[in-house]
Amino acid sequence: MKIHPDGWPYIAITGAVNALLFAVVGWYGWLMAPLTLWCVAFFRDPERLVPQGDGLIVSPADGVLLPIVEAAPPAALGMGDSNLSRLSIFMNVFDVHVNRIPADGVVRTLAYRPGRFINASFDKASEHNERMSVRISLAGGGDLTVVQIAGLVARRIRCDLKQSELVRRGARYGIIRFGSRLDVYLPPGAIIAVSKGQRVRAGETVLATLNKKE
């Protein structure tokens, strides 16, 4: 099983503590074994089969789709205040937390904003929580926004993207520790292919298409 590089320090610490418990208290060390195994599972980074085809927008995260709303994208990205369709994905602590690029394009703007740590399943988390916003100019025209949002437990957002970087659909670009949310603001005219409560998988589930042919 592939592990995200950010996970090795945590796995090493929990593994060492678990081994120490076994050495000191014997079989009682098994009480911590579930935590050690969970730490390994949390940082798993499985391969994904990215769907092919023009105009596809795939999920940037594993999790459950929250209610779909109309909202303005983060002001720091310079996209205006017009409402766009926003798809929000809530990740619990058992989901894969490696984030992936939703669509082919070029990174136009990156905007980090510190903030609060409200439960990521609440709608107000999109506005008030710590977040990292990315504006991507799509290969077929238009802009898409994806926002990593810290949650009640998650306190570390990692984004490996750089401005003007060429990105590909399904490519890994970051991770959030431990349990959080990602918002996707779709370009005007995008046709939504998912619904509230649906489980989605990063890099595989098609969230929307950019034209009726797809």
DSSP for residue 81: S
Q: Is 121 a catalytic residue?
A: no
Residue 100: is its pLDDT beyond 90? yes
Structural domain spans, the chain: 5-42, 56-209
The 10 Å Cβ neighbour count of residue 135 is 24
The mean pLDDT value of the chain amounts to: 86
Q: What is the pLDDT of residues 195-211, one digit of tens each?
A: 999 999 999 999 999 97
Residue 35: is its pLDDT beyond 70? yes
DSSP sequence for 109-144: EEEEE--B---TTSTTHHHHB-EEEEEEEETTSSEE
If pLDDT is split at 50, 70 and 90, which confidence band does 147 have?
Answer: very high
CB 93 within 8 A of CB 83: no
- Residue 153: per-residue pLDDT: 54
Cβ neighbors of 68 (< 8 A, separation 6 or more) are 85, 86, 87, 88, 192, 195, 196
Amino acid making up residue 70: E
In the three-class reduction of DSSP (H, G, I as helix; E, B as strand; rest coil), residue 16 is classed as: helix
Please name the fold of domain 56-209.
Answer: Glucose Permease (Domain IIA) (2.70.70)
Average pLDDT over residues 126-153: 83
Q: What is the pLDDT of residues 155-180, one digit of tens each?
A: 578 899 999 999 999 999 998 876 68
- Against a cut of 0.85, is the pTM above it? no
List 85, 88, 133, 180, catalytic entry = 180
